[in-house]
Structure 1
Amino acid sequence: MANKNLFTSAVAKIMPRTDAFNREGSIAYAYGPEAKLAQLAATGTLSDGFYSGAQAQLADVLDTASKVDAEWVAKCAIYARQSGAMKDMPALLTAVLTMSDPDLSVPVFKRVIDNGRMLRNFVQIMRSGQIGRTSLGSRPKRLVREWLEQASYRQLMHAATGKDPSLADIVKMVHPAPADAGRRAFYGWLIGKPYDLEALPAEIAEFEAWKKDRSRPLPEVPFEWLTSFELTRKQWAKLADRMGWQALRMNLNTLARHEAFGLKGVEDKVANRLSDPAAFAKVKPAPYQLMTALTQVGDGVPLSVQAALEKALEASVAKVPKLKGNVIVCPDVSGSMQSPATGYRKGATSVVRCIDIAALVAAAVLRTNRKARVLPFAERVVDVELKPYARLAANAEKLASIWGGGTNVSAPLAKLNREKAKVDTIVIVSDNQSWIDNNYYGPTAVMTEWSKLKTRNPGAKLICIDIQPYGSTQAKDRKDIMNVGGFTDAVFGAMARFANGEARDWTEIVNEVEIFEVK
């Protein structure tokens, strides 16, 4: 018999040939430079991943950014920050623009560097030497100085929470001009220089007084400034009122450990804050953050508070679209999906795994598409029974408990073809490092199986959600296939638009970003 790999069918020949290899050495489709930078911006965390290290990821970003025009770099930076809620990557792309297009870096800086943490990220990247310089330079220094001069005291106090570099380091670098005696006193206090105590902002003066006399009321400063001191449970209860929404979500076990929930009214206040629609809409927490919080709460956290978290989780996926017809969602549960979603980083490795995100996407789609089929896969499709009316967290946890084995992205498509199933939309959530189904020649197995499925379902659409920054896919973008990176509300929005025929690919969505803020 002739070699089937060499002498493929006529159908296979009209499908796009692969042009890359994935991190497992199997055939794949490379993203074009624009799509690749968008994918890196939305999923990259500049940390060690399952298949590549942080340094390799950084080199990939810088190389890809050099192959596209500066305007696209700008749009990716803004998209990653405002739609993708990323931190390191938009700061890096903004820093890149200070070298490639200094004029364009100005509006991008103002859109991306929106809090103290982002400011510290930007300065750290600029001074690292990774983008070609070890100093800020005149224009970036001016941008940083303007940020400091325009920031409120509250913003400055939050910016002073953190180091490497600290806000004090940054002030010493750029020498902001104090607009009044209060700002001058604040800068002096911050960097350890003499200052006028009477001119010091009231919050800082109260903090200094409180450090000398702990019987005084807690000062109105960021709660992180206070937690290094020994506090009473009443003081912890007070902090529960003051913490930001995200900080409250992350410190529930801490509040329980310090017995704050034992005080009258604290439980109700915390539960009401977590489930407050207005606060939730303002913060826009990522669904996987809420699921993680739910799985980590200890026995000391009251059930009403846990219920409020679950209510918030349900609200976080409210934008999952209702898709018409027969919907199939396929979460990758292979071994590599056990890796942290944001990569490995000493002292800062996320407990959220790729498989947790894939499971949550599947559970969320099932939540709004009650008749959807869920086909988790590794080397093959894994049988699992999910109840569409079950708690979102329960279904996600059940899916995440299924894991192990190699990656075979085409497995669910092959199963559907064997069944001759009727399909309208398929959603695959994966790191795209398929190797069990490697063809070595011609199209990927995913494209081969998709072609077979399309002969029976000509109107079907395939959505591939890529949650890792590895730069290749198993399905080539075209009118019936969309690759989208990351996992935020932006992904759900992209799904809805694609399913409704409003957008053909992800680059069109990123391209709609306005570089100059519309007022």
Structure 2
Amino acid sequence: MANKSVFASLKGRLLPAASAKNLAGAPAYTYSDAHALAQLAMTGTFGQTFYQDPMQELSRTLELAQKVDPSFLAKAAVYTRAEGHMKDMPAVLLAVLSGRDPILFQRVFGRVVDNGKMLRTFVQVMRSGQTGRKSLGSAPKRMVANWLTGASDRALLQANVGNDPSLADVIRMVHPKPASKAREALFAWIIGKPCDVALLPENVQDFLRFKKTGRGRVPDVPFQMLTQLELSTKQWAGIAENASWQMTRMNLNTFLRHGVLALPKMRRMIADRLRDPDLIAKARVFPYQLMTAYQALSAEMPEEIREALHDAMELSVQNVPKLRGQVVVAPDVSGSMSGAVTGFRKGATTATRFVDVAGLVSAAVLRRNPSATVLPFEVKVRETRLEPRDTILTNAARLADQWGGGTNCAAPLQWLLKKGRAPDLVIIVSDNQSWAHNQYGNAGTVMMQAWEKLKQRNPQAKLVCIDIAPYGTTQAKERADVLNIGGFSDTVFDQIAAFAGGEMGPDHWVGQIEAIDV
């Protein structure tokens, strides 16, 4: 026989050669600058992760933000805020844009800075000096001032919660020109200057009276303004009654602690609110937010509230599509998936890990596609039986419990080959830091080699790689049958369906960002 290392099959030799090393030191593929920025922007949170510290992530973000066209940068900032519900990253992209293209910056400012917290985050980023300047500059200063003068009273009160910078700091910095005596009084009150109390919004006046006397109905102001006060259980119930959906989700343990959930009527009302489909849609609920809320529940939380969160999760992923043919979904449960999705951030680290998100995506696909095969993997596949009728949260937790081991992104494909399977669609959910096959050469990554063999069985098969970490490389080279998506928002499910159905090409994810009108 001829030497196989010299006379390898033509199909194998045409596989794209690995073009980079991932952060685990193994062969990988790089993205284009635009795709790399999109992937980073949809997953990055500037926290300490398994392979990367916050400054490395920031450096990579700034490098890519300078390389791409300013128009794409503007669109990425809008997309990551509107579709990805990201927080810090859109502010960073917007800050870079302010220096690269002030006109585009002004066009998209209001679409990125859509609430007071985002406003304060943007100012914080600008003042840090990390994006090239320590002062706001004329255009950013004008846009911040315009936001302050145009915001509603309630939006300003909500923005008046938090520090570094506080809203008072921002007002002193940009000197907004109030359009009315009432707004002038509100600005003065926020920054601690004397003002005509009679001109303040009615709810602020109610708050000042309540703070002074402790009597009467709890004022309708942001929850955080009331936490400094000594309140009765009845008054806490009043706060819970007026709470938004997101505030309710974030303060279940607080309500429990103050006796609100011991009141049957209040417990029932809060449970009904949590599972209300209209409120869930209006709140733009991110499925992992529900998972985080569930994971953080006190052991004493009433079962009625736990069940309501299960119901809310089912509703939040209703747009997960039914997929044609044989579907396989493979969540990475390896050791590097143990980090928090926000990274480690002192005082603000979420309980939700990358492995939890991988389990969540897999469980959501299984809920809508009961015949799908779920293959959790690390160096090898861990065969786990899931019940499609179990709740998403239950199945996601079951998958996350498989955590541990090295990383071999080829493992689920190798398992399918060994079992003689020929699926129509394979979905991999991973951080892409595969290292268990430290092999180099011209034949591509081990994952691409396995995929090519699987394609020989089913030429129409498609592979979707959902990358949920901000590391910037992939194990599967993008081509007509391979789609790489960054992030873990529910828009990912629509993209999977469109790609599987032949309605979009592998570059369509970046194309969606490109399609945004700025």
TM-score (norm 1): 0.97
Match of 2:158 in 1: 158
Measured against aligned partners, the alpha-carbon deviations of 1:144-194 in whole angstroms (never above 9, x if no partner) come to 000000000000000001111000000000101111111111111111111
- Given that 1:50 and 1:336 are in contact with CA atoms closer than 8 Å, whether structure 2 keeps it comes out as yes
Match of 1:146 in 2: 146
**Aligned partners of 2:93, 2:7: CA distance in 1, in Å?**
45
Measured against aligned partners, the alpha-carbon deviations of 1:112-171 in whole angstroms (never above 9, x if no partner) come to 000001000100111111111110001100000000000000000000011110000000
Match of 1:445 in 2: 446
Helix, strand or coil at the partner of 2:341: coil
| Count of residue pairs brought into register by the alignment | 515
Alignment-mate amino acid for residue 29 of structure 2: Y
Aligned pairs for 1:179-328 (under 5 A) are 179-328=179-328
**Aligned partners of 2:143, 2:295: CA distance in 1, in Å?**
41
Q: What is the CA-CA distance between 1:394 and the residue it aligns to?
A: 1.3
Measured against aligned partners, the alpha-carbon deviations of 1:461-509 in whole angstroms (never above 9, x if no partner) come to 0000000010100001111000001111111111111111111122122
Aligned pairs for 1:171-182 (under 5 A) are 171-182=171-182
1:508 to 495, 511, 514: 511
- Given that 2:464 and 2:484 are in contact with CA atoms closer than 8 Å, whether structure 1 keeps it comes out as yes
Structure 1 365/269 Cα, relative in aligned 2: closer, same or farther at 3 Å? same
Match of 2:433 in 1: 433
Larger deviation: 271-280 or 292-301? 292-301
- Given that 1:328 and 1:375 are in contact with CA atoms closer than 8 Å, whether structure 2 keeps it comes out as yes
Q: What is the CA-CA distance between 1:336 and the residue it aligns to?
A: 0.6
- Given that 2:39 and 2:470 are in contact with CA atoms closer than 8 Å, whether structure 1 keeps it comes out as yes
Alignment-mate amino acid for residue 510 of structure 2: T
**Aligned partners of 2:3, 2:238: CA distance in 1, in Å?**
74
**Aligned partners of 1:318, 1:5: CA distance in 2, in Å?**
50
- Given that 1:5 and 1:439 are in contact with CA atoms closer than 8 Å, whether structure 2 keeps it comes out as no
- Given that 1:6 and 1:441 are in contact with CA atoms closer than 8 Å, whether structure 2 keeps it comes out as no
Q: What is the CA-CA distance between 1:3 and the residue it aligns to?
A: 9.2
Helix, strand or coil at the partner of 2:493: helix
**Aligned partners of 1:349, 1:342: CA distance in 2, in Å?**
7
**Aligned partners of 1:3, 1:405: CA distance in 2, in Å?**
36
- Given that 2:292 and 2:350 are in contact with CA atoms closer than 8 Å, whether structure 1 keeps it comes out as no
Alignment-mate amino acid for residue 459 of structure 1: Q
Alignment-mate amino acid for residue 440 of structure 1: Y
Helix, strand or coil at the partner of 1:284: coil
Match of 2:483 in 1: 482
Cα RMSD after superposing both structures:
1.5
Q: What is the CA-CA distance between 1:304 and the residue it aligns to?
A: 2.0
**Aligned partners of 2:134, 2:261: CA distance in 1, in Å?**
49
Match of 1:419 in 2: 419
- Given that 2:334 and 2:406 are in contact with CA atoms closer than 8 Å, whether structure 1 keeps it comes out as yes
Measured against aligned partners, the alpha-carbon deviations of 1:37-73 in whole angstroms (never above 9, x if no partner) come to 1001111111221101111111101111111100110
- Given that 2:331 and 2:362 are in contact with CA atoms closer than 8 Å, whether structure 1 keeps it comes out as yes
Measured against aligned partners, the alpha-carbon deviations of 1:325-376 in whole angstroms (never above 9, x if no partner) come to 1100000000010111111111111111000000011111111111100111
- Given that 2:291 and 2:352 are in contact with CA atoms closer than 8 Å, whether structure 1 keeps it comes out as no
Q: What is the CA-CA distance between 1:418 and the residue it aligns to?
A: 1.4
Helix, strand or coil at the partner of 2:256: helix
Alignment-mate amino acid for residue 495 of structure 2: A
**Aligned partners of 2:510, 2:178: CA distance in 1, in Å?**
43
Asked if residue 497 in structure 1 is aligned to residue 480 in structure 2, the reply is no
- Given that 1:80 and 1:86 are in contact with CA atoms closer than 8 Å, whether structure 2 keeps it comes out as yes
- Given that 1:387 and 1:395 are in contact with CA atoms closer than 8 Å, whether structure 2 keeps it comes out as yes
Q: What is the CA-CA distance between 1:80 and the residue it aligns to?
A: 0.4
**Aligned partners of 2:86, 2:120: CA distance in 1, in Å?**
14
Match of 2:83 in 1: 83
Q: What is the CA-CA distance between 1:299 and the residue it aligns to?
A: 4.1
**Aligned partners of 2:407, 2:166: CA distance in 1, in Å?**
43
Larger deviation: 6-15 or 380-389? 6-15
- Given that 1:47 and 1:344 are in contact with CA atoms closer than 8 Å, whether structure 2 keeps it comes out as yes
**Aligned partners of 1:175, 1:6: CA distance in 2, in Å?**
72
Helix, strand or coil at the partner of 2:429: strand
Measured against aligned partners, the alpha-carbon deviations of 1:242-281 in whole angstroms (never above 9, x if no partner) come to 2221110121111111111222410111111111111111
Q: What is the CA-CA distance between 1:239 and the residue it aligns to?
A: 0.9
Q: What is the CA-CA distance between 1:10 and the residue it aligns to?
A: 2.8
- Given that 1:223 and 1:242 are in contact with CA atoms closer than 8 Å, whether structure 2 keeps it comes out as no
- Given that 2:296 and 2:351 are in contact with CA atoms closer than 8 Å, whether structure 1 keeps it comes out as no
**Aligned partners of 2:3, 2:184: CA distance in 1, in Å?**
79
- Given that 2:329 and 2:373 are in contact with CA atoms closer than 8 Å, whether structure 1 keeps it comes out as yes
Structure 1 6/101 Cα, relative in aligned 2: closer, same or farther at 3 Å? farther
Q: What is the CA-CA distance between 1:12 and the residue it aligns to?
A: 2.2
Alignment-mate amino acid for residue 63 of structure 1: E
Q: What is the CA-CA distance between 1:294 and the residue it aligns to?
A: 2.1
**Aligned partners of 1:199, 1:183: CA distance in 2, in Å?**
8
**Aligned partners of 1:5, 1:299: CA distance in 2, in Å?**
60
**Aligned partners of 2:370, 2:252: CA distance in 1, in Å?**
32
Aligned pairs for 1:462-473 (under 5 A) are 462-473=463-474
- Given that 1:5 and 1:440 are in contact with CA atoms closer than 8 Å, whether structure 2 keeps it comes out as no
**Aligned partners of 1:7, 1:154: CA distance in 2, in Å?**
72
Structure 2 gaps, min length 5 = none
Structure 1 gaps, min length 5 = none
Larger deviation: 32-41 or 251-260? 251-260
Helix, strand or coil at the partner of 1:35: helix
- Given that 2:186 and 2:200 are in contact with CA atoms closer than 8 Å, whether structure 1 keeps it comes out as yes
Alignment-mate amino acid for residue 164 of structure 2: D
Match of 1:103 in 2: 103
Aligned pairs for 1:114-153 (under 5 A) are 114-153=114-153
Give identity over the alignment, percent: 50
TM-score (norm 2): 0.97
**Aligned partners of 1:394, 1:254: CA distance in 2, in Å?**
24
**Aligned partners of 1:476, 1:5: CA distance in 2, in Å?**
23
Q: What is the CA-CA distance between 1:5 and the residue it aligns to?
A: 7.1
Structure 1 259/5 Cα, relative in aligned 2: closer, same or farther at 3 Å? farther
